[in-house]
Amino acid sequence: MEQENIISKIKESGLSGRSGSGFPVASKWEAVKKEKAKKKYLVCNASEGELDTFKDYFILKNYSQKVIQGMKIAMETLSLSKGYIYLNANYFEELYDDLKSAIGKENIVIVKKKGGYIGGEETAVISVIEKGFPEPRSRPPFPAEKGLWGFPTLLHNVETFYFVAKIKEKNYRKTRFYSIWGDVSNRGVYELSENSTIRDVLGKTGNTPSFDYFLQAGGGGGGTIMLPDEIDIPFEGIASVIVYRQSKTDPYFLMKKWVNFLLEGNCDKCTPCREGLYRIMEMIERKDFKEIDEMFFVMEKTSLCPLGRVAVKPFQSLLEKIILQKHGNNH
């Protein structure tokens, strides 16, 4: 009865995954629970591969016990055989000892992340744990059905497990963590209402710009560029905001930063993503975007994994809202 109660409490809370997808947590638990298998696994995805985002690091640094507690609750509730923490390589040395201490005798193993940006995609995470290298897979089947070694696998990010523990303690207040970076006074990670608008988050943290700016919401690699009159909405995807001062920001330099990050971080497995990013790089160098809409369409519709589909967002929104409006081009 206690196990059923935990899942029902998560469902009542309305908790959704905090990796960016927003998938209901209780639905994923129920999907794993109903699968008939001799083994079932758990993965905490602490890869945190987005540019200029750092909330997973903040949570693990300050609340590692709470994250492990959330993982243990899941393992007990769903009778999971073994757990894994898939940890960003840059955090590994600093956080390993604290995490091991929090894990105690629980059957949870810490695995160092491999690969760049793509190394955090959920099926690539599974590939690293199984085979030692990041390679995304087609979905379906989803990990809840066939994950690690073909067995049902519950996969959440760090923040999700943190809030599972808060729900068990009856201390969940419908909050989430927001990371703030860029040309602001108070960079950092803040816990605020999950329904906060972007403007609310900037205001409540003392980061409302007093200058002409634009911002990127949803991560530094796949987030959308937004103007000041567009920010009265809640976050979609990753709760991250990066503020750019208009007068100091070269949009072409910014696009080069993105495309280099994405080229380095992809897996080169599928043609639309691999060739599409290369072509975008060429267009940025030429400052000629006449064919970029077709490139965006192909990447969004045919890329194997979310990286190629999400990669379009920052370029498309920056071109439409900043370059076309202020700089002129051959689009």
Q: Are residues 10 and 74 in the same domain?
A: yes
> In terms of pTM, does the model score above 0.75?
yes
Please identify, among 138, 168, 198, the residue that sits at the C-terminal boundary of a domain: 168
When divided into structural domains, the chain yields a total of: 3
- Amino acid 326: pLDDT: 62
Residue 230's Cβ-count burial label (10 Å; 0-12, 13-18, 19+) is middle
- What CATH number is attached to the domain comprising 235? 3.10.20.600
Would the pLDDT of 136 be above 90? Answer: no
Q: What range does the domain containing 270 cover?
A: 255-327
DSSP-H helix ranges across 140-291: 158-168, 198-204, 251-265, 271-286
Q: Are residues 272 and 164 in the same domain?
A: no
- Amino acid 180: pLDDT: 97
Q: Are residues 194 and 156 in the same domain?
A: no
Residue 2's Cβ-count burial label (10 Å; 0-12, 13-18, 19+) is exposed
- What CATH number is attached to the domain comprising 314? 1.20.1440.230
Contact call for residues 271 and 295 (beta carbons, < 8 A): no
Q: Are residues 25 and 157 in the same domain?
A: yes
Instruction: Name the nearest CA neighbour of 250 among 318, 184, 192.
Output: 318
Q: Are residues 121 and 13 in the same domain?
A: yes
pLDDT (tens digit, 9 = 90+) per residue, 170-207?
999 999 999 999 999 999 999 999 999 999 999 999 99
Instruction: State the Cα–Cα distance between residues 157 and 186, nearest whole angstrom.
Output: 25
Q: Are residues 126 and 31 in the same domain?
A: yes
Cα angle value 134/49/264 (rounded, 5°):
65
pLDDT (mean) for 139-165: 94
pLDDT band at 330 (very low <50, low <70, confident <90, very high): very low
Q: Are residues 161 and 281 in the same domain?
A: no
